[in-house]
Structure 1
Amino acid sequence: MVRQILPISALLIGSAFLLFAGGINALLLPVRGSIEGFTAFSLGLLGTGWAIGYVSGCALTSGLVARVGHVRAFSAMSAIAAVSILGSALLLTPVAWIVLRGVCGFCFAGAAMIVESWLSERAAPETRGRIFGIYTMVNLAASTAGQLMLTLGDPAGFTFFALGAIFYCLALVPTAISSTSTPAPLVSVRLDLRGLWRNSPVAVFAVFCVGISNAAFGALAAVYAERVGLMLTAVAVFTSVPILAGAVAQIPVGILSDRTDRRKVLVGVAVLALIADLAFIFWAPTGRTENLLLAALLGGSIFALYPIIVAHANDHAAPGTAIQISGGLLLIFGLGSVVGPLVAGWGMTNVGNSALYWVTAGAHILIILYTLYRMSRRAPVAEAAKGSFQPVPGGRISTPQTALLAETDQGEMAAARDDAEAAHDAARQDESEAHPQNAPR
């Protein structure tokens, strides 16, 4: 195990710093925004801004890396993310925060893609699954630790803005001084709505709804918890427990979905999420224990939906298209993530706290109804044709490179690499023809 981790330790440390800073940033803004008197609608727009920036980063980073290289691109992303959180401390206005949050989302996606591309290059086929598991655990622990850091001080001051900026900057150090060779170009994923829909209507529809529900909860859970009277420590735990529960839930959910029609599992998990939604709406708990238990149930459900959808879509995918399918679903998820915080934030401002869970409940009801309809129209995938369930982070912290890193089929991985390297070679040839003095001699 140590022999496998040492060659990628710099990348794991850089990723941990990045996610730690991201955890601080994600919780600090809604908490501090509430202190400053920002409306829930404005705070929901922070989630919308993040989603727009994140999807843009996933779509555009591969071109940037092709022009300036991995190390320079990663350094720029980390540095600009640090500037964005410091700018949020200096410009205490909703409009500025929304724009800066979008910039941070772009940088965060780009930096994560580069790290994952590097890890994918360094991982041997026989150790890829183990390295992906380690990478996922490191990111989960770092993100949770970053959120819990807010319990150690006063979010009304400048300290946590500075701390987040420090760790964004520290994230670029391991890759900047690493002696590992630069990996192959990033895999670029184009959005093909018609192709995705033909492959699996359930996956496209459900992943859009999951984007709505997960992004709404991720952006406004802290606002809800604070409004029902939870103290800062409980608010931090309230936002962290769902992520941990979602990670744990993927184990039994994955085993079950490999043994039966994944659509049945999708409906079952969505029903559990709906039960938690309705409990928040009609029970409206105010105590710490009740809220944390419901948050764990909701998180264990909603953060297990995304990998079920990806696995179901890949069951129907043609050979060699798994990366494109997973990347396309991520972009659809991002479109839903733009809508969710916007609608939920407006509802919490104009209707009340329960509006957050009316939005998530609506998304889960749509998933259940449409999946049941499609089950009556299309037979399940034969057991022999199904792939294996692959636990993946929630779409909010996934990139097209995550699919490549998680991919265990060496043939598909090699095909994706060959395509990327061919594009890279063509770009270098064009550059040599345009600038003959720079051509190799």
Structure 2
Amino acid sequence: MLASYRPILSLLRGTAFLLAASGLHGLLLPLRGQVEGFSTASLGLMGTAWAGGFVTGCFFAPRLVRRAGHVRAFGAFAASGAIVALLTGLIIDEYVWILLRAFTGFTMAGAFMVIESWLNEKATNENRGTVFGLYMMVTYASIMGGQMIVAGGDVKSASLFMITGILFCLSLIPTAVSSASLPKPLQDVKLDVKGLYANSPVSAVACLLVGIANGAWGTLGAVYGARIGISTPEIALMMSLVVVAGAAMQLPAGRLSDKTDRRFVLAGAAFGAALVALLVFLFEPRSAVFVIVLTAAYGAFAYTLYSIAVAHANDHARAEDFVKVSGGLLLLYGFGTMIGPLLAAALMGWIRPEGLFLATAFAHLSLTAYTLLRISRRAPVPIENRDAFKTQPADRSLTPEALRLDPRRKAEADS
């Protein structure tokens, strides 16, 4: 049995290094930019550039992979990530960094699509749930591990940039020496906004608004921490605990949504995230302990929303449309992450660091209001006609290719 998982474990090792590099670089840049005196608008633009590059990569990377092959394409993507990481350590300029972040987003999308298609090829209907679960565990642990590396380093030195480059290079080794057969060519990604909205208006709007909130926090959360005066290790812990709290809350929130109208759970969690954000905005805590506790509570609510929205959309979709619907929602989420950093940066510059939470509260309150409106307009899907809830990481590390690995796709494959 272990032999059947050996090729998958090899790919997951490469994934771990790749995600650790991404988590480290994504936290390092705003902290170093804050030290260098970069404007809030520039720091926000870095997040927008990354998200724009990632979404663009989801559309165009499959063509590059089909032309060069999976191994060579992944090598090019990972090597490009290492080069960009080292360049950001050599050239300390906000405008150069914005450009390089867009390139990083593109290369990361391509690298993830290669690994996810490879994992999907190795998974069977019998072990698909296990493989998907392992991939989610590696995703969370590696991003957190990469972020916590920042706590042990000096953001003013070049060492953390070099470590990022090393991690990108390490991600090459497992795939380069793997004897696993190559997967099928990647499929092109398509986005049907009209069809997504017709299938589930709540889910389409939710994924866009959740992307706005999560994009704002993911890009500028570290900047908020630095500007209120908490230490770098405390910022790294804060950013990691937001993800941990969200991951821990997904299962109980999802199980609750299996037993009632998912839209009530969606509206309740969105309101909870808005309430915590408004508390931070109004009371302006400066104690590291209070900040970490409050942001963890925020993450527990905010990082459950995406999975519930996707589950609600798939309650309304046909089994054979799972990948198309979920992939389209993921792209809408990506477009939201392009908007969020710009909105939050404007409010942080205009008001104070807590303006970040005003931006997320706006998105979450809008989601709460729209969801409650739609509850009165459309009856819920009967419980017996729903698929069971599955957790998903609410960040930008998944591509539409990962959805072919989701165990809920079994119905599509068998139909």
TM-score (norm. length: structure 1)? 0.92
Question: Structure 1: which amino acid aligns with 2:105?
Answer: G
* Correspondences of 1:336-355 after superposition (within 5 Å): 336-355=336-355
- Distance across 2 between alignment mates of 1:201 and 1:405: 25
Correspondence for 1:157: 157
Residue number in structure 1 paired with 2:390: 390
Give the aligned partner of residue 33 of structure 2. 33
Given that residues 125 and 407 in structure 2 are in contact (C-alpha distance below 8 angstroms), is that contact kept between their aligned partners in structure 1? no
2:189 corresponds to 1:189? yes
Corresponding residue for residue 428 of structure 1: none
Find the aligned partners of 1:307 and 1:375 in 2 and give their Cα distance.
18
Asked whether the equivalents of residues 7 and 178 of structure 2 are also in contact (C-alpha less than 8 Å), the reply is no
TM-score normalised by structure 2 residue count: 0.98
1:246 aligns with 2:263: no
Aligned to 2:264: 264
Structure 1 residues 88 and 409, CA, compared in 2 at 3 Å: closer, same or farther?
closer
Cα drift, residue 3 of structure 1: 4.3
Deviation of the 1:414 alpha carbon: 5.9
8 A Cα contact 1:51 1:338, kept in partner: yes
Give the number of the structure whose alpha-carbon radius of gyration is greater.
1
Other-structure match for 2:199: 199
Which whole-Å CA distance do the structure 2 matches of 1:407 and 1:186 have between them? Answer: 19
Q: 1:277 aligned to 2:277?
A: yes
1:170 counterpart residue number: 170
Change (3 A) 1:365 1:390: same
CA–CA distance in 2 between the matches of 1:187 and 1:372? 37
Alpha-carbon separation, structure 2, partners of 1:154 and 1:194? 48
Alignment deviations for residues 111-157 of structure 1 (CA, whole Å, 9 cap, x no partner): 11111111111112111111111111112111111111111121101
1:138 aligns with 2:138: yes
For the Cα contact (< 8 Å) 1:330–1:395, is it kept in 2? no
The answer to whether the aligner puts 1:8 opposite 2:5 as a matched pair is no
Q: Contact between 1:211 and 1:340, CA under 8 Å: does it hold in 2?
A: yes
Q: CA deviation at 1:2?
A: 3.8
RMSD: 1.3
Contact 1:285 1:291 in 2 (8 A): yes
Distance in 1 separating the partners of 2:27 and 2:86: 15
1:195 counterpart letter in structure 2: G
Corresponding residue of 2:104: 104
- Paired with 1:383 and 1:120, the residues of 2 have a C-alpha distance of 29
**3-state DSSP of counterpart to 1:388:** coil
SS at structure 1 position matched to 2:396: helix
Tell me, in whole angstroms, the C-alpha distance in 2 between the residues paired with 1:4 and 1:361.
Answer: 46
Which one is further off, 395-404 or 153-162? 395-404
1:257 is aligned with what amino acid?
A: S
Contact map agreement 2:323 2:409 (CA 8 A) in 1 = no
How do 1:26-425 residues align onto structure 2 when only pairs under 5 Å count? 26-413=26-413
Query: SS of 2:171's equivalent?
Result: helix
**Residue 412 (structure 1) shift:** 1.2
Which residue of 2 is the match for residue 434 of structure 1? none
Task: Identify unmatched segments of 5+ residues in structure 1.
Answer: 416-441
Residues 319 and 408 from structure 1, CA distance in 2 versus in 1: closer, same or farther, beyond 3 angstroms?
closer
Code of the residue aligned with 1:244 in structure 2: it is V
Look up the SS of the partner of 1:160 in the other structure. Answer: helix
CA contact (8 A) 1:128 1:408 kept: no
| 1:95-124 alpha-carbon deviations (Å, 9 max, x no partner) | 110110111111111111111111111112
In structure 2, the residue corresponding to 1:157 is in which secondary structure?
coil
- The range that moved more, 406-415 or 137-146, is 406-415
Match of 1:427 in 2: none
The alignment partner of 2:111 has SS state of helix
Could you list the structure 1 runs, at least 4 aligned residues long, displaced by more than 4 angstroms after superposition: none
- Stretch deviating more after TM superposition (212-221 or 118-127): 118-127
Q: Taking structure 1 as reference, are residues 142 and 5 closer, same or farther at Cα in structure 2, changes over 3 Å only?
A: same
Structure 2 residue matching 1:408: 3-state secondary structure: helix
- Match for 1:13: what amino acid? R
2:172 partner SS: helix
Kept in 2: contact 1:125–1:408 (CA 8 A)? no
- Alpha-carbon distance, 1:372 to partner: 0.5
